[in-house]
Amino acid sequence: MVGLVLRSPAGGGREGDTPLALKNTIRGRDIISCRDLSRGDAELIFSLTEEVVSGAARLENTLAERKIALIFVEPSTRTFQSFYVAARSLGAEVLSIHDPEVSSIAKGETLYDTMKMIEGYGADCIVLRHPARGAARFAAEVASVPVINAGSGSQEHPTQALLDVFTIKSKLGSVDGIRVGMLGDLRFSRTIPSLCYLLSNYSNVKTYFMAPPLLQVRREIELYLSERGVEYRKVVEVDEIREVMPELDVLYVTRIQKERFPDPTEYEKVKGSYVVDARLLSYGRRELGVMHPLPRVDELSPEVDKLPNAWYFEQARNGLPLRKALLYLILGEAG
């Protein structure tokens, strides 16, 4: 324990509260879907992330006795690296499979066997990225240690959504009442469902799904938002996109997920169908924040990088303190 102080989301805790002013509701848990995370869970993670960013919480070497396995059966830059650096800076040992081509997965090893093998080597937590929907949930069922979903096909990417909402909160001060436009491939992007589920914990949030019909948001997400009373609007035509731009606080852009199209001719139909550039942003508010989980291809013009609206590099940077806080809450002594 390193003098960690967690304030309550309402700012209730005092400096010197020991060791944890909030109950740790994350300890020992799997992080598979944002549907499983309450507002309180998210706020707990954000409180500690803020303290990591400000230097109030120093978590270095708090997981010195732990082993964290990173199993990435799909390409990754940010998610893998930020989990790796986070785990190492917490002092944990890292077991990693990053290139499935050089592991037994290429020989046809099942996910079940990979999980059992990694557990056998003493992993205390498994971070899994996998191309199949349901893979993370399955892994959590077979593993006896916590599993973190680092992307399960087109289904979900909960730690990305956590860092996304943390970024929104740190830029705007609050998440309640915000207006978020989601533009791009809403059909196959896994960051979109997780973001929608997490935002549904906040009050009076409105989302705008800005995409051509072929890339529109999946029915399961619409149903979930309706059940939770979250207002949303589908925006399909370019003219309509321009018309709603002034209403937005955040424009969240996604890459067309070429690798997930079951039919390559469908991809050809939508390829290059949208580009966010300075001209499009000129229809929005001056303070509009542009977010993107990255990597980008051609949907977000580099000319936006120099505008104050570009939040995406800061958003990517937030992945490290957030994943540090998350690993510590799951595996550390707190709470």
Of 169 and 255, the one with the shorter C-beta distance to ligand NCD is 255
153: which 2 tokens? Answer: 């096909």
What single DSSP character describes residue 124?
S
Of 78 and 206, the one with the shorter C-beta distance to ligand NCD is 78
Of 89 and 254, the one with the shorter C-beta distance to ligand NCD is 254
Instruction: Tell me how many degrees the CA angle 242-245-251 measures, rounded to the nearest 5.
Output: 120
DSSP assignment string, 152-210: ETTTB-HHHHHHHHHHHHHHHS--TT-EEEEES-TTT-SHHHHHHHHHTTSTT-EEEEE
Binding string to ligand NCD for residues 240 to 269, with x set by CB under 6 A, is what? ---------------x--------------
Q: Is 324 in the site for ligand NCD (CB under 6 A)?
A: no
Of 20 and 270, the one with the shorter C-beta distance to ligand NCD is 270
Rg from Cα positions in the chain: 20
Binding to ligand NCD in span 159-218, by CB under 6 A: 160, 190-191
Question: Which of 236, 294, 317, 333 lies at the binding interface for ligand NCD (CB under 6 A)?
Answer: 294
Binding string to ligand NCD for residues 141 to 160, with x set by CB under 6 A, is what? ----------x-----x--x
Of 124 and 185, the one with the shorter C-beta distance to ligand NCD is 185
How near is the Cβ of 294 to ligand NCD at its closest, in Å?
A: 5
Quote the distance between the C-alpha of residue 177 and its chain's center. Answer: 20
How near is the Cβ of 168 to ligand NCD at its closest, in Å?
A: 16
How near is the Cβ of 39 to ligand NCD at its closest, in Å?
A: 23
Binding to ligand NCD in span 24-83, by CB under 6 A: 78-79
Of 4 and 325, the one with the shorter C-beta distance to ligand NCD is 325
Of 157 and 169, the one with the shorter C-beta distance to ligand NCD is 157
Kindly tell me the sign of the dihedral angle through the C-alpha atoms of 305, 309, 314, 316.
negative
Of 293 and 321, the one with the shorter C-beta distance to ligand NCD is 293
How near is the Cβ of 286 to ligand NCD at its closest, in Å?
A: 27
How many of the chain's residues bind ligand NCD (CB under 6 A)? 10
Secondary structure (3-state) at 237: coil
Q: In what order do the strands lie in the sheet with 147-152?
A: 93-97, 67-72, 125-130, 147-152
Q: In angstroms, rounded to a whole number, what is the distance separating the alpha carbons of residues 46 and 36?
A: 16
Question: Which of 153, 293, 321, 332 lies at the binding interface for ligand NCD (CB under 6 A)?
Answer: 293
Say if residues 34 and 41 touch (Cβ distance below 8 Å): no
Tell me how many helices (H) and strands (E) the chain has. Answer: 12, 9
Q: In what order do the strands lie in the sheet with 250-253?
A: 231-235, 206-210, 179-183, 250-253, 289-291
How near is the Cβ of 298 to ligand NCD at its closest, in Å?
A: 13
Of 21 and 291, the one with the shorter C-beta distance to ligand NCD is 291
Say if residues 1 and 333 touch (Cβ distance below 8 Å): yes
Q: Is 132 in the site for ligand NCD (CB under 6 A)?
A: no
Q: Is 315 in the site for ligand NCD (CB under 6 A)?
A: no
| Helix, strand, coil shares, percent, the chain, to 5 | 40, 15, 45
Residues at the site binding ligand NCD, with contacts judged by CB under 6 A: 78-79, 151, 157, 160, 190-191, 255, 293-294
